[in-house]
Structure 1
Amino acid sequence: MTATLAPSAGTAAPVPPAPTRSRGELVALAALLVGTAVLYLWDLGASGFANSYYAAAVQSMTQSWKAFLFGSLDAGNAITVDKPPASLWVMALSARIFGFSPWSMLVPQALMGLGSVALIHAAVRRVSGPVAGLLAGAVLALTPVAVLMFRFNNPDALLVLLMVAAAYATVRAIERAGTRWLLLAGVLIGFAFLTKMAQAFLVLPAFVSAYLVCAPTGLWRRVRQLLGAAVAVVVSAGWYVALVELWPAQSRPYIGGSEDNSLLELALGYNGLGRIFGGDGNGGGAHPTDLPTPTGAPAGELTAIGGPGGGGGFGGTPGIGRMFNDTAGGQVSWLLPAALALLVAGLWLTRRAPRTDPTRASLLLWGGWTVVTALVFSFAQGTFHEYYTVALAPPIAALVAIGGRELWRHRASWAARAALAVVVAGTAAWAWVLLGRSPDFLPWLRWAVVALAVVAVVAVLVPGAATRRIAALAALVAVLSGIAAPVAYALDTAGTAHTGSTPSAGPAVSGGRGGAGGDGGAMPAGAPTADGQDARGAGPDGGPGFPGAGGGPGGAVTADAELVAALRGAGTRWAAATVGAQQGGGLALASGTTVMSIGGFTGSDPAPTLEQFQAHVAAGEVRYFLAGGGFGGGGRVDLPGGTAAAPGTTAQEGAAGSSGAQDGRSGPGGRGGPGSAISAWVEQNFAPVSIGGQLVYDLKQPIG
């Protein structure tokens, strides 16, 4: 009689062990992981230093342990990047061990992608078996925006790895109401916060609801466990916030992106609620033609910053269709409609399952992640870039695998076969639309996808009594019809060099962006890199550029050997100072020296103040001041209409006006930085000279 008793409220229900691995599965898994590694590592150095903003910070972190701790843009520790430094720690440790280079910086990113694929395979396999696990891993690996970000140096690679790892830990916790697994999930989310702040918390509603509904233990124990996990999140994220807040402000760098030199304010403001609701410090989904431009300039012409076309890196107008628009659609949405449909189908098929059913738990977890993240991204009024959608790649991959497997298991039912046919046909129709936005890219592929879908639909609709051969054909062709188009985009992405701060996966799309990164895309060449080598391509204005240039935000500016030699011979704490990190980062990378980026990313942060800069100059700590700067500026700012503005305050204000409209951090309606005041003071007190065609002020040579 006791054998029939249900487990007590505090006892976890027995869970079947994960299926053992056959030799065939091990071979398939090895092929998946090796293929992913090749895709992410092949010709990885082609993008040079990729985003020079983060690359300059990584370089500074190899030169100063204080810069390492805080994520400083420069080894002189004037200002930090506008994100916490967790992702930079990984790249900087690699660079300290192997020497600073594009490869030492980017290989950890690629390995994070490999780890994400392995973890999502493991999480899905535990619930839906080896075939579904392999499919989930392959879909994630081949999502175009995932290929982009796992070959790039933005923080998103580590963010995705940590969120997928937390999802895996939550799946393990749900199996047996395991407290340790749940606490581990909390720790991982805390460190994800130290990677990209509030975005890490978008998965929490899904994780909490899945555990609260499905964990095999009593309600109050589930609540207590979740409270413990919340403490783990706070501790693993809060230790660093507390360290920065308690550190004397005068002995650490200014916290870039914040309004009052506070990491907590940065988390709550610019990188928190500001992303959702917009406001000062956060732009929004404006198209370039909607942005303010200098007087007399054609609408949308932003030549001062390298002028990305189309979506301008802001993902289009906020609304329910943002994930499917011209700029964001080709990044991640290929299988998004299928994932949502399969989520609904899976929940319907498991509606009569026990509360603790692991399949339904996983559907709630991955489905909640997808829905919450997609809605927040779609309606965010603050800064949004298309590459943020990499956070949707893991849950879409998991839903396609888990939901598809559930429908396939029930294919004996006419309704299940009809649902599968609708999903296959709908996915092919959406691929037809997305491929039509790149009409010059493999025009035959649209017809191939349609042909595969027709065969798959016919095979799927064959009654369940059909032979196993037909069933296998149906499954194979259905998968091929769904992934053929994103695979083509993924391969194009892997074969294209990407630079700047707003990269975009896939080929160029009509009315949007794409191709080589969305910032102009040109690969620079001829300029010496930090290790003395030459980079590829041509820099903006036809001159030599720095590695990782694209002529736009986060890319590089022009320089030549004479300027680089002058910076290397400066012998001061900062070899040079310039307004904004766009020029400053490129100069630091080209010369291997320390360059102060006044005002941080766009030049809009209030650091250093004019008085602080004057004190640094009086102490002999800054040798040169480079005119121009601003958001992607150089020594010469080309305003719309072809007029070259004179270097100095006017030029910088012109650059800041355009860049502020583009980024939402300065310019009309945004907060201004100290650049104009410092530029004016330098111009009044120091004589300009030309070094390598760049207007430079020698701060050791005052006028008179």
Structure 2
Amino acid sequence: MTSVDTTTRHARVEGAEPRRGTAPWQWLSLAAICVLSGVLYCWGIGGSWGNSYYSAAVKSMSQSFENFFFGSFDPAGVVTVDKPPMALWLQVLSVKVFGFSQFAVLFPQVLAGVAAVFLLHRTVRRWAGEHAALLAALVMALTPITVVINRDNNPDTLLVLLVVAAAYAMTRASESRTATGWLALAAFLVGCGFLTKMLQAWMVLPAFVAAYLVGSRAGWGRRLLDLGVAAVVVLVSSFWWVAATALWPSPKPYIGGSTDGSAWDLVFGYNGFGRIFGGDRNPGRNAGTDGGFQPPSGGPGGGGGGFAGSSGVLRLFNDQLAGQISWLLPLCALVLVAMLVFGVRHWRGGRPLDRGQAAGWVLWGGWLVVIGLMFSFARGIMHPYYTTMLAPAVGAVAGAGVVRFWRWYREPRGKAWLLLPVGVAITVAWAMAVVARELSWHAWAGYAAVGLGVLALVVLLIGRRGKAALARTGLVLGLAAALAVPTAWSALGAVSGQSRMGGANPMAGPEMSIRQGNVMQFPGAVPPNGQGQDGAQQPQDSAERGSAEEGPVLFMDGRGGESLTEEERKMLDHVRANAGDLEVPLAVEGGSMAASSYIINSDLRVVGMGGFSSSDEAPSVAQLAEWKRSGQLGYVQLGGISGSGGMRRHDDLGDRDGLGDRDGLGGGDAQPGGDGSQPPAGAQPPGGMSGRGGQVSQERDEWVKQNCTLVNPASWGGAADTSLQLYSCK
């Protein structure tokens, strides 16, 4: 062991620190970080329903066990949400304790977010020591996209907690000679992640397997046996719910988002490989030629509008994503390159491998690289908030890297000391570059980062040969400079609240980036009046506006579920008075965008026909006919400008709400909704449908018009020119 260098010995001593107990200052520092994250995640959450699609489902799921188990969107149990229900199960339990309210729906997200920060600290501490762990926890707590998604009820918050917990188990497995139990626990937690957001949870598996193979001290036979056990556990824990839904006797809820009503189709289709490779049911930025969807162009890396911009190596640095997650990515790249060079030189020098240290770098570096590449090149629907899954790896790599750079900075010989000031410089430079894209929005944060960064570099250069206290001051200033802008964006995201960002697609940052991340565009026609967002005149030159084939711009406004219009309330009162006891008193065409507000703001059994986007065959025309024959169907609403819509259409029709959003890779596409408007001829909206839900929706509309009677709006208090069409099917 005498051949092990001082750096490795120091890392081992620091890595062994948790086994000797924790100093009071360390516990206080961790507690402060957890309290800070809790405040950011919890501030004002009682004023929003978050993603109304999921909030409506939580209310429906709380009404019966079958609804709870399947994740039913509507109280009648007709169709489920388009994800597995594990994240919603926790929200239902909260509702059972606190009652159905905005706070009760969102509070589990706060707890899960804080727990993830705490677990990341405990995981990194075992590998890289206390200082690295505190930095990792702080970075994750202050990541802007993590702050805004943890204030929302999309499933990503629970997914991150589960995979961080799995990383803790993997770290323990790498330390142990009898690792089977820890590996099985890690596999089980990844399986729970699968039941939260399907295949996105499996994206950590390559890094986990590689880390175990590098870190384990067991023989190869034992390693392969352990991985075999873990593979069985991850398959069983991932697919038991999928199998249960298939074996459940009919009648049962239709699995939303699938083409045949089964969870198997959802796993491997829309929510699976379609997210990676795109296609007509998963149109991403580059899908204009085969998927019928083309967001506006422009922005770094070829990106432009369309949620996350175009796929490519620079996607994480474009206008939509840079301010969400990229702040420390240049630093992380520098750290990984430096550690790779260090590792090669270490190996070529014939020195023994510290498996624990190597496994940690493989785990967190592999996590960052693999998932970063997947998000960068995914051709399907990609939302900015997916990138919160990178936050734990960014925190771990940056935290451990800064500690290592500090150690090299304090060494008297060599040039590795330059890495610390270089890391500060490139981090601050990139932060200012992002801020400069919209200087009218809190540019003071960028200027503060630059000021602190310059001061940090001066002090670090002077303190290189000076007193240790001066050098430490330079380090603190450098950390403050690196975190200044993401901290400001996180705080502003928490204070601004979800109503500005939209619970369906939460984003941090200036209005410019939020708008670009909430825009989609259908091909087929240019708006006749040439107007775009907020009615502003748009350039007609193709180089500025894009192809002449581009269609109306659709902007997600995030008002979903907040309230019902006065006219909708009058209509609902009429239905309640005349069909309240029927099995299906009201069915609403337009899917969740049209039905969410009714479900959230009333106790009537409302069915959102067609699932999220109205394209699911649930209910079918045959089911509608059976409901009518058996006297179970009261009324059907067609048309309308629903208050639950999450999108506005900017064209010659004016601003109309009729589009919403659901979460992606598990969720997040926008669809035409309940205002009765149609996209341009030949357009193919996301979800593989045309018009308002495609042929399935059109067939339901035709059946209703042929078999039910249009109710005079005057009889329920509607205006003569109302767009709400209420049909009596009694």
Query: Which TM-score tier does this pair reach, normalised by the shorter chain?
Result: 0.7 to 0.9
Other-structure match for 1:61: 61
Other-structure match for 1:232: 233
Relative to 1, partners in 2 of residues 1:656 and 1:475: Cα closer, same or farther, differing over 3 Å? Answer: farther
User: Is 1:587–2:588 an aligned residue pair?
Assistant: no
Relative to 1, partners in 2 of residues 1:621 and 1:312: Cα closer, same or farther, differing over 3 Å? Answer: farther
Other-structure match for 1:665: 687
Structure 2 Cα separation of the partners of residues 659 and 59 of structure 1: 37
User: Is 1:318–2:311 an aligned residue pair?
Assistant: yes
Relative to 1, partners in 2 of residues 1:153 and 1:71: Cα closer, same or farther, differing over 3 Å? Answer: same
Structure 2 Cα separation of the partners of residues 388 and 327 of structure 1: 12
Aligned-pair CA distance for 1:599? 1.3
Structure 2 Cα separation of the partners of residues 222 and 199 of structure 1: 25
Q: Is the 8 A contact 1:322 1:328 kept in 2?
A: yes
Deviates more, 1:418-427 or 1:350-359: 350-359
User: Is 1:572–2:565 an aligned residue pair?
Assistant: no
Aligned-pair CA distance for 1:563? 3.0
Other-structure match for 1:443: 443
Equivalent runs, 1:8-19 vs 2, <5 Å: 16=16, 18=18, 19=20
Other-structure match for 2:612: 601
Relative to 1, partners in 2 of residues 1:656 and 1:293: Cα closer, same or farther, differing over 3 Å? Answer: farther
Q: Structure 2: which amino acid aligns with 1:674? A: V
> What is the DSSP-based 3-state SS (H/G/I as helix, E as strand, rest coil) of the residue aligned with 1:216?
coil
User: Is 1:688–2:724 an aligned residue pair?
Assistant: no
> What is the DSSP-based 3-state SS (H/G/I as helix, E as strand, rest coil) of the residue aligned with 2:438?
coil
Deviates more, 1:60-69 or 1:621-630: 621-630
User: Is 1:282–2:290 an aligned residue pair?
Assistant: no
Other-structure match for 1:535: none
Q: Structure 1: which amino acid aligns with 2:271? A: N
Aligned-pair CA distance for 1:96? 1.5
1:301-346 C-alpha deviation (Å, 9 max, x unpaired): 9xxxxxxxx9555201111111110011111111112112212223
Q: Is the 8 A contact 2:593 2:646 kept in 1?
A: no
Other-structure match for 2:637: 626
Q: Is the 8 A contact 2:583 2:633 kept in 1?
A: yes
Other-structure match for 1:699: 728
Q: Is the 8 A contact 2:368 2:393 kept in 1?
A: yes
Structure 1 Cα separation of the partners of residues 651 and 440 of structure 2: 29
Other-structure match for 1:396: 394
> What is the DSSP-based 3-state SS (H/G/I as helix, E as strand, rest coil) of the residue aligned with 1:337?
helix
| Match for residue 679 of structure 1 among 701, 715, 726 | 701
1:184-207 C-alpha deviation (Å, 9 max, x unpaired): 000000000000000001100001
Provide structure 1 residue ranges, at least 5 long, that are not aligned to the other structure. 5-12, 302-309, 520-539, 541-548
Other-structure match for 2:628: 617
Relative to 1, partners in 2 of residues 1:422 and 1:102: Cα closer, same or farther, differing over 3 Å? Answer: same
> What is the DSSP-based 3-state SS (H/G/I as helix, E as strand, rest coil) of the residue aligned with 1:426?
helix
Relative to 1, partners in 2 of residues 1:313 and 1:50: Cα closer, same or farther, differing over 3 Å? Answer: farther
Relative to 1, partners in 2 of residues 1:291 and 1:283: Cα closer, same or farther, differing over 3 Å? Answer: closer
> What is the DSSP-based 3-state SS (H/G/I as helix, E as strand, rest coil) of the residue aligned with 1:624?
strand
Q: Structure 2: which amino acid aligns with 1:504? A: M
Aligned-pair CA distance for 1:651? 8.9
TM-score, L = length of structure 2? 0.82
Deviates more, 1:396-405 or 1:593-602: 593-602
Relative to 1, partners in 2 of residues 1:459 and 1:447: Cα closer, same or farther, differing over 3 Å? Answer: same
Q: Structure 2: which amino acid aligns with 1:159? A: L
Structure 2 Cα separation of the partners of residues 270 and 635 of structure 1: 21
User: Is 1:506–2:528 an aligned residue pair?
Assistant: no
Other-structure match for 2:43: 42
1:539-564 C-alpha deviation (Å, 9 max, x unpaired): x9xxxxxxxx9755855675223234
Aligned-pair CA distance for 1:490? 0.2
Q: Structure 2: which amino acid aligns with 1:472? A: R
Structure 2 Cα separation of the partners of residues 484 and 348 of structure 1: 30
Q: Is the 8 A contact 1:112 1:157 kept in 2?
A: yes
> What is the DSSP-based 3-state SS (H/G/I as helix, E as strand, rest coil) of the residue aligned with 1:81?
coil
Structure 1 Cα separation of the partners of residues 489 and 646 of structure 2: 37
Other-structure match for 1:183: 184
Equivalent pairs, count: 645
Equivalent runs, 1:432-581 vs 2, <5 Å: 432-462=432-462, 464-498=464-498, 499-509=502-512, 512-513=515-516, 551-552=557-558, 558-560=564-566, 561-569=569-577, 570-579=580-589, 580-581=591-592
Q: Structure 2: which amino acid aligns with 1:605? A: D
1:577-610 C-alpha deviation (Å, 9 max, x unpaired): 1221111111111213222111111111222211
Equivalent runs, 1:59-458 vs 2, <5 Å: 59-177=59-177, 178-248=179-249, 250-285=250-285, 312-351=305-344, 352=346, 354-411=352-409, 412=411, 413-458=413-458
Structure 2 Cα separation of the partners of residues 119 and 363 of structure 1: 17
Structure 2 Cα separation of the partners of residues 107 and 674 of structure 1: 37
> What is the DSSP-based 3-state SS (H/G/I as helix, E as strand, rest coil) of the residue aligned with 1:674?
helix
Q: Is the 8 A contact 1:441 1:507 kept in 2?
A: yes
> What is the DSSP-based 3-state SS (H/G/I as helix, E as strand, rest coil) of the residue aligned with 1:316?
coil
Structure 1 Cα separation of the partners of residues 210 and 565 of structure 2: 54
Identity within the alignment, %: 40
Aligned-pair CA distance for 1:630? 9.8
> What is the DSSP-based 3-state SS (H/G/I as helix, E as strand, rest coil) of the residue aligned with 2:582?
coil
Q: Structure 1: which amino acid aligns with 2:34? A: L
Other-structure match for 2:661: none
> What is the DSSP-based 3-state SS (H/G/I as helix, E as strand, rest coil) of the residue aligned with 2:84?
coil
Q: Is the 8 A contact 1:656 1:667 kept in 2?
A: no
Other-structure match for 2:530: none
Aligned-pair CA distance for 1:354? 3.6
Other-structure match for 1:8: none
Relative to 1, partners in 2 of residues 1:263 and 1:75: Cα closer, same or farther, differing over 3 Å? Answer: same
Task: Give the CA RMSD over aligned residues.
Answer: 3.5
Structure 2 Cα separation of the partners of residues 288 and 491 of structure 1: 37
Q: Structure 2: which amino acid aligns with 1:577? A: A
Structure 2 Cα separation of the partners of residues 157 and 636 of structure 1: 24
Aligned-pair CA distance for 1:251? 1.6
Structure 1 Cα separation of the partners of residues 408 and 323 of structure 2: 31
Structure 2 Cα separation of the partners of residues 699 and 623 of structure 1: 6
> What is the DSSP-based 3-state SS (H/G/I as helix, E as strand, rest coil) of the residue aligned with 1:509?
helix
Deviates more, 1:362-371 or 1:660-669: 660-669
Relative to 1, partners in 2 of residues 1:414 and 1:508: Cα closer, same or farther, differing over 3 Å? Answer: farther
> What is the DSSP-based 3-state SS (H/G/I as helix, E as strand, rest coil) of the residue aligned with 2:255?
coil
Equivalent runs, 1:24-35 vs 2, <5 Å: 24-35=25-36
Q: Is the 8 A contact 2:293 2:685 kept in 1?
A: no
Q: Is the 8 A contact 2:281 2:291 kept in 1?
A: no
Other-structure match for 1:536: none
Q: Is the 8 A contact 1:657 1:667 kept in 2?
A: no
1:467-503 C-alpha deviation (Å, 9 max, x unpaired): 1111211210111111100001001110122234222
Structure 1 Cα separation of the partners of residues 87 and 217 of structure 2: 35
Other-structure match for 1:9: none
Aligned-pair CA distance for 1:643? 6.6
Structure 1 Cα separation of the partners of residues 140 and 27 of structure 2: 19
1:506-541 C-alpha deviation (Å, 9 max, x unpaired): 232369547xx889xxxxxxxxxxxxxxxxxxxx9x
Relative to 1, partners in 2 of residues 1:637 and 1:205: Cα closer, same or farther, differing over 3 Å? Answer: closer
Q: Is the 8 A contact 1:326 1:511 kept in 2?
A: no
Q: Structure 2: which amino acid aligns with 1:366? A: W
Relative to 1, partners in 2 of residues 1:638 and 1:285: Cα closer, same or farther, differing over 3 Å? Answer: closer
